[in-house]
A and B are shown apart, each in its own frame.
Chain A
Amino acid sequence: MNKKVEFSGDHLDVLRELMNIAVGNATASIADLLQAFGTMHIPKIVISDISGLKQYIHDTIPIQSSHYVTKQLFGGPLGGEFIFVITDEAAINLGNHLYDVDAPSDADIYDAVIELTNILSATMISRLTEELNVKVQFFVPSTEIIQGNDLIYLEDTLEYSQIIIISTQMEFQNQNINGHIFILTKDAMIQSLKDLIDQKLEELYA
């Protein structure tokens, strides 16, 4: 069992502000891709555990639709998992938009969703790690279609993990393309994150 890492008000403030900037960048990137205007959503930060994560996802993602769920790992001094969730309806709209066909094929839609995830993770995570002065390595993302909102598979062994959930939304109302973004880090990485934020705070007060 790991010792729980405590985040002070200052730590959370820094993380929130950095994520704000990251989300702003990401929204602008996607706006560029879609040639549209997006609504920025303030990211929420929650520190919880595995069951808290499951509950949070259940509360955030509606159970009625089926969703394209893309997961991508990132690594380095700060590592974690980037998840992008989009309803199949919005995914079709996205496919339409990017591939300029009336009825995008399944392959087109998969491709569009991965392309979007690529851009989102690259902008958000790169920005975040840049501000924290560390490098990041991206891994191959994978997508699957899931009915309802059971997006994650739980192992009993991870019961005691501490998890930071950073969540936000991507909203392009006019194009009916909306999605949820979750950035997760756990245990040792949370300590890493805290140390990096401490360094940032030091710079500030120096």
Chain B
Amino acid sequence: MKILVADDSKLARLSLIKILKGIEPHCEIIEAENGQIAVEKFQENTPSIVFLDLTMPIMDGYEALEKIIEVNPKAQVVVVTADIQSQAQAQVIASGAKMVIPKPISSEKMQTVLQQLVF
């Protein structure tokens, strides 16, 4: 299973990957540090899930989300964000994200995400 993790913070990517590997040790992780690279890697690799941060340089998460949905309307994008206002969450779901998770993601929450989207 291929999973794309997009976040400009190395810490954020590593924490998320660590939790992922804890549940699915054999999944293949692809990393992106900004929205532009995220879109490129999505096209190259067709991952089953995309974990997307919203605040990234060059191209932010909102724009990357739109572009990814354009490429594949069925893409499974999970937005992982620090902005936990309900209005922000609603906006993102309306743009095509399947779920919105607050940072930092916990192991339990990750289980839920994987269950809902993959299994």
Question: A and B touching (C-beta < 8 Å)?
Answer: yes
Chain A residues with CB under 8 Å of chain B are 10, 13-14, 16-17, 20-21, 23-25, 27-28, 31, 37-38, 40, 42, 131, 200-201, 204-205
With A24-B81, A37-B87, A204-B18: A16-B9 Cβ-Cβ less than 8 Å: yes
Chain B residues with CB under 8 Å of chain A are 9-12, 14-15, 18, 55, 81-85, 87-88, 102-104
With A28-B85, A40-B83: A17-B9 Cβ-Cβ less than 8 Å: yes
Residues on B with C-beta less than 8 A from A205 are 14
Residues on B with C-beta less than 8 A from A201 are 11
With A24-B82, A31-B85: A13-B103 Cβ-Cβ less than 8 Å: no
B55 with A13: CB separation less than 8 A:
no
B10 with A20: CB separation less than 8 A:
no
Residues on B with C-beta less than 8 A from A16 are 9
Cα separation A27 to B82 with both chains bound (whole Å) = 10
B82 with A21: CB separation less than 8 A:
yes
Which residue of B55, B87, B104 contacts A42 across the interface (Cβ within 8 Å)? Answer: B55
Cα separation A124 to B110 with both chains bound (whole Å) = 24
- Of all chain B residues, the one with the shortest Cβ separation from A30 is B85
Cα separation A24 to B15 with both chains bound (whole Å) = 18
Cα separation A16 to B56 with both chains bound (whole Å) = 13
A17 with B83: CB separation less than 8 A:
no
Cα separation A163 to B83 with both chains bound (whole Å) = 28
B83 with A28: CB separation less than 8 A:
yes
Q: List 6 A-B contacts (CB under 8 A).
A: A13-B11, A16-B9, A21-B104, A24-B81, A24-B103, A25-B84
Cα separation A19 to B23 with both chains bound (whole Å) = 27
Cα separation A16 to B82 with both chains bound (whole Å) = 12
A27 with B15: CB separation less than 8 A:
no
With A20-B55, A20-B82: A13-B87 Cβ-Cβ less than 8 Å: no
Which residue of A23, A37, A38 contacts B82 across the interface (Cβ within 8 Å)? Answer: A23
